[in-house]
A and B are shown apart, each in its own frame.
With several copies, the nearest count.
Chain A
């Protein structure tokens, strides 16, 4: 199908589609999205678009059936929607937790990684590459690649490698090669650029598994569709358990894959408020001179631009150079955000909020000691939000627990140690690391 053809039918089609299918035709979300990539990648993008349409949208060869079966058997889906008794009491509202932390690998990331690696297999690809920041997407991809017997190379910034050694080890245990990226600051955005470079040379036999709803079309829609299982389940579970829909749905947002996964099936439920919680870092102020944003609140504080293949909201300086973002949670530490979220924020459908490092850490300790669930630091932002804004929420709130905190124990020790966290346990035996 030629793109010119697609474009002519676009407006009408999109208008008729429910919100959770937005962008499928052409990767456009209002002004956001698109395919801003080097020409050399275009054939791969087109091949992928074709495969996405056939296998994912049309379930050709039973792709979606196999995907769902593997998500269940290998991944452990469905994940529960659990009532959080003690938080419900604390906030005098019904708080429900969507337990993506129970997914194999410990985060929602596997939904996408498994989908893409399986798709690569259906496409006849022989090799997987991926980038990773915190290492969560990398470990999920490495697991999926081992499970499906695909050779896999993961690019990871050198600085991230040093911050996330257990995740590096996990990837290697799963048989993946981990390639350190030494350019720039050695974090996620450099790793993405590097992976794109690899892909530009190897498109014929290689699939690039992007880790969030970012990048050129069809990645944002495809990753969303793979992650949408979260809200598909949560919506059904909420109806079963509570007899109705939630008043509010809360999810943290880095690139935004767990966010859109959690929102997708609620987008058309206009009475359900959707809250995307970004990392407010240490402050929302930006240091233009140094090119540093001490946060990664691109929905809240970013401006329109083009990054990594898509038009979206970015943290950038006035020249358009991408800023160094910062967050206590490396998985939220990204200067961009998925174009669909940028669109939904502009439309007023999604409420963007920023929660700072301190509040996130308190959220981390709060969920750990009141509910017996140690969340990822990314996830902890959602609980920081709950604490600060519960009075603005309705009577039934679903919060996505996007991941578990095992990967963050060292960071939690270090960060707790640096501040006065009111609800932290006695840390004396841990300071100085484990």
Chain B
């Protein structure tokens, strides 16, 4: 199902905890400490955000993180260096916008980016502004270098579009829990359950994201049938608070690790409730 063994493995036993952080937020070194904290906190896959100047799919939390990273000098090349330097167990997925991928190729399409990503130890890509219809060249490059190409399924995705996407996806499918952009929310949406139902016929891990911020959410999502949870804004919020309150890198890393444990724990509780005794969600 997946090009990369690492992603296969991540979803192989139990629910996957898939945290997201913006690489280079608020600076290169702190960011490395933060990503490694996620890993210690139990991450199965880590989505590394490579910042683009016009992030049309992000909410304000992540957008501000992208700006912090760009202001601190993040570039695709530094991003790859970062990935190479990381010491983590989790599988790595790069999340970015298509223009950076395309432009990296200097006229040769997306292949050079994918080649470089593979060399840096990246196992998959999420490109929120690349629809399945436009994805052939990237899909081919991913196949060539053994990367997975993750697509995002929205609550509104149905019919032909869903089929086409599911025919192209690999690694896991990113199930968007609600309409809108990224951002931590307090509740879990009904749309999630409906989406998971719609996807039940497809044999690919389903990771649910958008708005998950606590262990409780995570538990309910996984209990509802998700194979993994993706958490972005809630973690980026921790980084932002660290910037605002001028906390030490170690302190922020500790908080990220703690929140990760909570989320991962929630996901595991949810998994047990689904596979073992059914607790009320």
Touch test A–B (CB under 8 Å): yes
Q: A4-B160, A316-B99 are in contact. Are A308 and B54 (CB under 8 A)?
A: yes
A57 at the interface (CB under 8 A from B): no
Chain A residues with CB under 8 A of B56: 37-38, 192-193, 196-197, 308-309
Query: Which of B58, B76, B100, B103 neighbours the largest number of chain A CB atoms within 10 Å of its CB?
Result: B103
Closest chain A residue, CB of each to CB of B106: A318
For chain A residues 313-331, which have a beta carbon within 8 Å of chain B? 314, 316, 318-322
Chain B 154-170 against A: per-residue CB contact (8 Å), 1 yes, 0 no?
A: 11110011001100000
For chain A residues 248-302, which have a beta carbon within 8 Å of chain B? 291
Contact, CB under 8 Å: B57 / A38: yes
Chain B residues with CB under 8 A of A200: 57, 179-181
Q: A42-B161, A319-B76, A321-B53 are in contact. Are A306 and B129 (CB under 8 A)?
A: yes
Contact, CB under 8 Å: A39 / B153: yes
Whole-angstrom CA separation of A42 from B57 in the bound complex: 12
Query: Which of B70, B151, B156 neighbours the largest number of chain A CB atoms within 10 Å of its CB?
Result: B156
Whole-angstrom CA separation of A11 from B16 in the bound complex: 44
Chain B residues with CB under 8 A of A189: 54
B134 at the interface (CB under 8 A from A): yes
Contact, CB under 8 Å: B164 / A4: yes
Chain B residues with CB under 8 A of A203: 156, 179
A201 at the interface (CB under 8 A from B): yes
For chain B residues 32-85, which have a beta carbon within 8 Å of chain A? 52-60, 63-64, 67, 70, 75-76
For chain B residues 96-145, which have a beta carbon within 8 Å of chain A? 97-104, 128-131, 133-134
A374 at the interface (CB under 8 A from B): no
For chain A residues 190-204, which have a beta carbon within 8 Å of chain B? 192-193, 196-197, 200-204
User: Please, how many residues of chain A have a CB less than 8 angstroms from a CB on the other chain?
Assistant: 39
B212 at the interface (CB under 8 A from A): no
Q: A34-B134, A306-B102, A320-B100 are in contact. Are A201 and B156 (CB under 8 A)?
A: no
Whole-angstrom CA separation of A197 from B54 in the bound complex: 11
Closest chain B residue, CB of each to CB of A320: B103
Chain A residues with CB under 8 A of B130: 36
Task: State the Cβ distance, B138 to closest chain A Cβ, in Å.
Answer: 12
User: Please, how many residues of chain B have a CB less than 8 angstroms from a CB on the other chain?
Assistant: 44
Chain B residues with CB under 8 A of A18: none
Q: Kindly identify which residue among A36, A193, A202, A319 contacts B98, using a CB–CB cutoff of 8 Å.
A: A36
Q: Kindly identify which residue among B60, B151, B157, B176 contacts A183, using a CB–CB cutoff of 8 Å.
A: B60
Task: State the Cβ distance, B135 to closest chain A Cβ, in Å.
Answer: 10
Contact, CB under 8 Å: B156 / A183: no
Q: A39-B153, A201-B181 are in contact. Are A306 and B98 (CB under 8 A)?
A: yes
For chain A residues 1-30, which have a beta carbon within 8 Å of chain B? 2-4
Closest chain B residue, CB of each to CB of A44: B156
Whole-angstrom CA separation of A193 from B54 in the bound complex: 7
Chain B residues with CB under 8 A of A34: 133-134
Contact, CB under 8 Å: A36 / B131: yes
For chain A residues 176-215, which have a beta carbon within 8 Å of chain B? 183-184, 189, 192-193, 196-197, 200-204
Chain B residues with CB under 8 A of A183: 60, 63-64, 67
Closest chain A residue, CB of each to CB of B96: A320
Task: State the Cβ distance, A117 to closest chain B Cβ, in Å.
Answer: 22
B6 at the interface (CB under 8 A from A): no
Whole-angstrom CA separation of A197 from B129 in the bound complex: 13
Query: Which of B52, B54, B59 neighbours the largest number of chain A CB atoms within 10 Å of its CB?
Result: B54
Contact, CB under 8 Å: A42 / B131: yes
B152 at the interface (CB under 8 A from A): yes
Chain A residues with CB under 8 A of B154: 38-40, 42-43
Q: Kindly identify which residue among A39, A304, A320 contacts B176, using a CB–CB cutoff of 8 Å.
A: A39
For chain B residues 207-244, which have a beta carbon within 8 Å of chain A? none
Q: Kindly identify which residue among A38, A197, A204, A320 contacts B99, using a CB–CB cutoff of 8 Å.
A: A320
Contact, CB under 8 Å: A306 / B99: yes
Q: Kindly identify which residue among A2, A197, A306 contacts B97, using a CB–CB cutoff of 8 Å.
A: A306
Task: State the Cβ distance, B169 to closest chain A Cβ, in Å.
Answer: 11
Whole-angstrom CA separation of A197 from B155 in the bound complex: 16
Whole-angstrom CA separation of A291 from B156 in the bound complex: 37
Contact, CB under 8 Å: A35 / B134: yes
Closest chain A residue, CB of each to CB of B131: A35
Whole-angstrom CA separation of A408 from B99 in the bound complex: 34
Whole-angstrom CA separation of A302 from B63 in the bound complex: 25
Q: A193-B56, A197-B56, A322-B53 are in contact. Are A40 and B160 (CB under 8 A)?
A: no
Chain A residues with CB under 8 A of B103: 305, 316, 318-320
Whole-angstrom CA separation of A185 from B128 in the bound complex: 23
A307 at the interface (CB under 8 A from B): yes
Closest chain B residue, CB of each to CB of A47: B156
Which 5 residue pairs of A and B lie closest in terms of their CB atoms, listed nearest first?
A320-B103, A201-B180, A38-B57, A43-B156, A40-B154
Could you name 12 residue pairs across A and B whose Cβ atoms are closer than 8 Å? A4-B160, A35-B133, A38-B57, A38-B152, A42-B131, A43-B157, A197-B181, A202-B179, A291-B53, A304-B102, A321-B70, A321-B100
Residues of A within 8 A of B (CB): 2-4, 34-40, 42-43, 46, 183-184, 189, 192-193, 196-197, 200-204, 291, 304-309, 314, 316, 318-322
Residues of B within 8 A of A (CB): 52-60, 63-64, 67, 70, 75-76, 97-104, 128-131, 133-134, 151-157, 160-161, 164-165, 176, 179-181
Having A38-B128, A183-B64, A203-B156, one finds 8 other A-B pairs with CB under 8 Å, namely: A3-B133, A39-B153, A40-B152, A40-B154, A40-B176, A201-B180, A306-B102, A306-B129
